[in-house]
Amino acid sequence: MKTFANYEIVGRVGQLKEGNGVLRITIAAEYGRKDNNGTFQSKPFWNEVNIWNENVIKWAKENVGPGDIVRSVGTIRQEQWEDPRTGETRYGVTLSSESFDNYSHEVRRQVARQAG
CA 102 – CA 111 distance, rounded (Å): 15
Residue 29 has what DSSP assignment?
E
Domain around 68:
6-115
The string of pLDDT tens digits covering residues 10-49 is 999 999 999 999 999 999 998 878 888 888 888 889 999 9
Domain-located, residue 58: yes
Domain-located, residue 1: no
Domain-located, residue 29: yes
Domain-located, residue 32: yes
Residue 36 has what DSSP assignment?
T
User: Residue 111 is part of a domain; what is its CATH number?
Assistant: 2.40.50.140
Residue 85 has what DSSP assignment?
T
CA 70 – CA 106 distance, rounded (Å): 10
Burial class (CB in 10 A: 0-12, 13-18, 19+), 79: exposed
Total domains, the chain: 1
Domain-located, residue 60: yes
Q: What is the pTM of this model?
A: 0.80
